[in-house]
Copies of this chain bind each other. A is one copy, B any other.
Amino acid sequence: MSPRTAPRPQADETRARIVDAALEALRANGIAGVSARTIARHGGFNQALIFYHFGSVEGLLVAVARRESERRSALYAPALREVTSLLELVGVARRLHDEEFSRGSVAALTQMLAGAVGSEELARGIWDALEPWTTLVRETIERLLADTPYGEALSPDDLTAAVTALFLGIELLTGLDPNGRERTPFSTMEAAAAGIDALLRPQGAATDG
């Protein structure tokens, strides 16, 4: 994305500062309020720096998506790799929601997803940026299905898409609901997950979980 292929340390710092400012602008104003001007104002730098380092506002937003996706997924990877039931998967999603909602990270992502409608570059860039997440979720789902007789009937790719969609949809709605910050559907989803877990296990083991 950058015109420089081997950026010097100082350029790295500048780029990080611009990415921070873009994330702040997204959190504060949503995608509709994000422009080179608002980002530059948030970071206190000249907007020309955005075009020099990222080529375009879209290029910058893709860099934001990539960095945040890598950081957050690295943070949750250990927990996801230990998941052995649907209930635990919902538990990680709940923790991710609780911890990230206040930070505004996921809100920034849903904002970028919405912004991608008008821009092919943004759509492809964000789709690629989501990859560390979708890989982690797919691995978890494959592990959960491995011990059940349902692995054949249910496509892990489709289940990964459904789980990702559910999580993003909850973030989108939680931001909207006047009571959303206090109220999420996670506790009922945990109850439903526990029920499905019991049914996914071989008959004899159903009461162990």
**What interface size band does chain A fall in?**
35 or more
Task: Give 1 or 0 for each of A52-63: 1 = CB within 8 Å of chain B CB.
Answer: 000000000000
Partner of A188, one of B30, B123, B155, B189: B155
Within 8 A of B (CB), among A115-173: 115-119, 123-124, 126-127, 150, 153-155, 157-159, 161-162, 164-170, 172-173
| Copies of this subunit | 2
Give the CA-CA distance A33 to B126 in the complex, in Å. 18
Complex interface: chain B residues within 8 A of A166 (CB): 162, 165-166, 169
Tell me if A196 is interfacial: C-beta within 8 Å of chain B: yes
Partner of A175, one of B117, B157, B159, B191: B117
Partner of A158, one of B115, B188, B195, B196: B188
Task: Give 1 or 0 for each of A17-41: 1 = CB within 8 Å of chain B CB.
Answer: 0000000000011111110000000
